[in-house]
Structure 1
């Protein structure tokens, strides 16, 4: 068949789509909106890798790398200190700056250095500080806001960040809190070795998030099925053959798809600008981040219209279009099951060779993983129409609304299945991913060892801070029940300028607190103990001889240190190490407060373990405010019993962000599909109302028509999702276990989306249920 005939017939279909009057435009717009929503999400997906890479690049560009070889003061050096904090679960990035010359490096996003006492903040932080909710945080940041950080200095539009001017930082160089730099950025970036299981997670996440989009686009191009059939019959009546009629129908779908590309681009551009004002799971971006890859965007532009033509031609293969009607209006032939089982079986067949591979045997084959997951999820769309048809064919009598719904489903079970295919695919993929995340999560989660029953926060004070005064301030802080103060340092057997060969820890505290780190025979103020059984401690026995001189390094400013000498006393007691509140076993020496000689207290670093009253709102924020008032460089840390790998957590967060976008698409597409079906049945609804059918009955029938296929779809999705999850777990050499709470949560979310869509479709349904809908011209 010549290309010219194809082009002519497709062109005629395009004209029908846009020149068919109000009916044609309505149908084209509904198709375009459905396709456009999918295109927008596809464009967003193609832009995500670039957005994440840009976030990483900007984070790398603003690093103040203070480790490694110390830099001498010069005209191009800058003193900097990290003052990161958090507020109500949100991270706040903070830096103190003190330029040492006219050529000091300026952080990205700043035009000039803030003066001491001033700060430059991100737009989001400025907005928060100006709000009523920012009152507690303003107490912690006692600087005058003199400007905002430019986009190049931020990784996201909603990031909370500030740079504050400081003075006197040179006196604290080398104490672990202040550093000197001559440039921003990491001078020695290293590429972290890829974890095969994490790569597998990323691959499956992308497939699972994109599959529902493809299903929705395929469903959207088939809007207007029944009215289209009548138009096609009219074409046959005026002389077109079957092939020409199908090509014209494909051209009509092509018109809606092309308009959908325009709509999708508009939706994407609008969403791109909207992205700057939202934050999803603590992740935000700038509009400039969201630039789709040109090659992938071109692929979307070609694939969507091509899919519209292909889907339409495939859908009409089994339809006999005659001049007096379409055979589909009669009872359709029963669907066959055998070929529908081939897709999920093929998917399992592609994944089975990798079962037991784990992370020890190299990377998973990306093509087999992608093909297997796609085949299993596409299998849902193949099986669901057969299941819906088989089940509704056996449904019997009931209320009038039930019978109306069942009869409608028996006549058009395919359309009902198409409407819920996207939900079923999304839920099946989500269940599989939740099982995989739950199964491998323990490999990326470890116990911290912190005793959260004793304390919930730890505050590390800079060297030389008066720990007694700091303890008193924290005891007066709102929300603090109890304070356990300790001071820590390290002894060497030689002067620190001569590089000691043997070392021992030093811990200073009152008797009550020292009993949390060691088993003491007895304790009174003035006692000193040598600790036995500490982790990795082999030097304490040889350093605990009475009269032995030990050296403690004390920072005196600008990178310079001096030694504080301590002599082991005659009255030295022995103690046995136990697990301290951080989960470690300390060694070395324990001192009570009055046993600390003059000068030694200024060479140790204080640590306070705080027990909080969680019934007090913002108790942790009050603690952070007190710590900042004592010293801006103090470091309050919230204790957690467990902690997760950052890479694993970022993938998990990415899944939640993507799932949120997909659920929004599902809801919007379902609503468009529901409205299109109601529009198709406007005259039928009007006829039923004219004959006296109650509106309540019709509303319930519409609800049943949605609930039955959704229930079947979610049941199928649960089975397929658990099967896929089990195979993925076996691939990672993880014991198979069904995460039932996740299964119920995912199915509940899918059902919730459908319920919301149904409720939103009730107002237009009620407007259509009027006898005057029978009026015609």
Structure 2
């Protein structure tokens, strides 16, 4: 027979033993399949994520728009569109106002027709929110429109997307400066997305590597379930004439069969997980189950790599086991593990990452393969170092209570199995510590302080062009809303000594004395006064700003000559204008230029150019912010409501953190499930031993404590090693990002606590099966 035929024959024999070896055989195969299947499911979901994100972007691009060329008038195939994005609570509700200008106007994706004025098309998630008690204030805000359509999947980025299209009959383009309303002839615009800077790309790569490496470790561990019982059966095969190589190939066939069962179960778990993914909506990020479709190449790679890894791991595990016809020599005292080759992995990872230190954002993109390889070597180094560390530590232990001695003796005999149980958790914790250190280190670069003071104004309303004449009326209209303490309406324009202005135009802000006091320290003030600001933004920046003096003759309005329909109007700054120091406005900006009260303001159609209202809120009133937003939307749907916050977080950075949360949740579920399966397998292998000890009078509480110690000791050593490797990796990554190295000990303790918590939960769940295994009928054999 050829070498290939020999391998095929022996692998097939091992597969027959896996499925036809009685209850022991198929139970072991099923446990292996479940462990491998959980890992395969997470690998498939991970390979499907890039495609799901691309599908989200494609549907987002499909509903984006590009305005028609300048000068294009209304036609049969044109549509007016304006943004109507809202914020409700801490959720973004995106929307568009529409008005069809002809019978062939483009229809938004996901709809059959353009909503007529007074009608609204909503996403399923928004419809659910509007119909729920939580959406009462939003329902009141949008009560001018009647939901008549539901937006289909083609027009939404995900099932949790809060989106609407509302028909509005008074949409108009008022002039060349009116950028709120656009005329379009088609949807499917192009959206340019900025490239990730090197640090954000580093975070993305590390997130994938740190989350997938524990999965690979778990898959490699799962194919070794039932190793001791398997070796005893292999010894029986030696007794009937099989040689050493043949029994190893048979063992590889058993592992191969278990991995193939795992592939089938993994596909099933993946389909279940994909269906559940459609119900998840974390921080308004959601995906359709159909989008989680792994690419054929990546799925084929998983299908080939998992069985191949099962065979390779099994052969590697048997390299130091002598299987003789009358037993397995592993029962004798094993040779001490050597440390030198185990250090090659972490040192190799450090060597791969060392050339990338100090790169930061300015020196181009980092080599992703080099980063991935270095991180994988460091994390996998844990799986090589932990067995050696555990062997050295437990080899020096003796004495103590009976439960402690039972646990220590068990670990001294088979420390490798205990280390394998902990490897995945240690790798996951080390990766989490390193990622947390890097995220904490760069958080300041992507979290910006706005200098805004929400205590002075929780909301800033920016009115569209033409709202200058109605700003006072709008402020009065919303001021009676519950939760609004006061409104500060302001109009603004620009002035210059000549047109077009040869230099920087002079800002002119118009408002009542009470309103202007938010921008300067006025002192005595009555209607008709004017003020010249000092210490404004331009002066603070080191460049003297353009200003005017009392009695100066100026031109106010469009002083740069952009809008031919609104000519600047002549205006004289009152001779009694006083000089006053500027103060920061509620948004944190230091104003400059001139402040004037209404009686002294420029008059004429082209005078005022902009208008806004600061809204002061009563934080003691529930939902005060949403009530103010609703009142502002009802008063002027085109007004832009800006919530004033003391800091903002970069959107891409926030998305990566959310992605890490998704992935970490999946890995934690995998860790718990795989650890439970592994724990049950180890208890099943020791069923007769446990029953024998109980039959000889050993207390069940003693045996339960011994099992707990057998888990706690490796976990303590594993988490200690994981913390050391994680801190080292985190320090290297921070050096790569060119940020000061600082260990966030609270994060280290938190990540270690999560790992220990998972183990504690698994241990508690394994106690009922443990008590059942300690019954006398555990001595029964087939």
TM-score range, shorter chain: over 0.9
SS in 2 for 1:156: coil
Gap change, CA 1:699 and 1:612, over 3 Å in 2: farther
Task: Determine which of 535, 551, 554 is the counterpart of 1:548.
Answer: 554
**Which deviates more from structure 2 when the two are superposed, residues 400-409 or residues 28-37?**
400-409
Gap change, CA 1:564 and 1:445, over 3 Å in 2: same
Deviations, residues 284-337 of structure 1 (Å, cap 9, x unaligned): 101221111111111111100000000000000000111121112223222111
Conserved in 1, the CA contact under 8 Å of 2:498 and 2:554? no
User: Equivalent residue for 1:380?
Assistant: 382
User: Equivalent residue for 2:183?
Assistant: 180
Conserved in 1, the CA contact under 8 Å of 2:493 and 2:607? no
TM-score calculated relative to the size of structure 1: 0.94
Conserved in 1, the CA contact under 8 Å of 2:569 and 2:607? no
SS in 1 for 2:613: strand
**Which deviates more from structure 2 when the two are superposed, residues 611-620 or residues 212-221?**
611-620
Distance in 1 of aligned mates of 2:397 and 2:267? 44
Distance in 2 of aligned mates of 1:594 and 1:757? 76
TM-score calculated relative to the size of structure 2: 0.93
Gap change, CA 1:203 and 1:95, over 3 Å in 2: same
Task: Return the offset for 1:15.
Answer: 0.8
Gap change, CA 1:156 and 1:553, over 3 Å in 2: farther
Distance in 1 of aligned mates of 2:512 and 2:370? 63
Task: Return the offset for 1:118.
Answer: 1.5
Task: Determine which of 760, 765, 780 is the counterpart of 1:755.
Answer: 760
Distance in 2 of aligned mates of 1:759 and 1:608? 59
User: Equivalent residue for 1:730?
Assistant: 735
User: Equivalent residue for 1:16?
Assistant: 17
Q: How does 1:518-667 map to 2 (within 5 A)?
A: 518-520=520-522, 522-536=524-538, 540-541=546-547, 545-551=551-557, 561-563=565-567, 565=569, 567-571=571-575, 572-596=577-601, 603-667=608-672
Matched, 1:487 2:488: no
Task: Return the offset for 1:448.
Answer: 1.6
User: Equivalent residue for 1:76?
Assistant: 77
User: Equivalent residue for 1:125?
Assistant: 126
Deviations, residues 718-764 of structure 1 (Å, cap 9, x unaligned): 10001011111112221111122221221121112222222222222
Deviations, residues 165-216 of structure 1 (Å, cap 9, x unaligned): 11111165654432222222335x5463442222222222211111001000
Gap change, CA 1:404 and 1:486, over 3 Å in 2: farther
Distance in 1 of aligned mates of 2:670 and 2:496? 64
Distance in 1 of aligned mates of 2:593 and 2:548? 11
**Which deviates more from structure 2 when the two are superposed, residues 481-490 or residues 31-40?**
481-490
User: Equivalent residue for 1:708?
Assistant: 713
Distance in 1 of aligned mates of 2:26 and 2:429? 33
Distance in 2 of aligned mates of 1:529 and 1:707? 74
Deviations, residues 648-694 of structure 1 (Å, cap 9, x unaligned): 22222222221111111111111111121122122222223333333
Deviations, residues 592-620 of structure 1 (Å, cap 9, x unaligned): 24444666699454323334343433222
Number of aligned positions between the proteins: 771
Distance in 2 of aligned mates of 1:493 and 1:259? 84
RMSD across aligned C-alpha pairs, in angstroms? 2.6
Deviations, residues 104-123 of structure 1 (Å, cap 9, x unaligned): 11111111111211111111
Task: Determine which of 435, 438, 455 is the counterpart of 1:436.
Answer: 438
Task: Return the offset for 1:457.
Answer: 2.6
Distance in 2 of aligned mates of 1:549 and 1:207? 62
User: Equivalent residue for 1:3?
Assistant: 4
Conserved in 2, the CA contact under 8 Å of 1:350 and 1:371? yes
Distance in 2 of aligned mates of 1:484 and 1:397? 78
User: Equivalent residue for 1:206?
Assistant: 208
Task: Return the offset for 1:271.
Answer: 1.4
Conserved in 1, the CA contact under 8 Å of 2:587 and 2:644? no
Deviations, residues 130-183 of structure 1 (Å, cap 9, x unaligned): 222222221111122112111110011111111111111116565443222222
Gap change, CA 1:306 and 1:507, over 3 Å in 2: same
**Which deviates more from structure 2 when the two are superposed, residues 571-580 or residues 227-236?**
571-580
Task: Determine which of 242, 245, 267 is the counterpart of 1:240.
Answer: 242
Gap regions ≥5 residues in structure 1:
none
Conserved in 2, the CA contact under 8 Å of 1:43 and 1:292? yes
Conserved in 1, the CA contact under 8 Å of 2:468 and 2:491? no
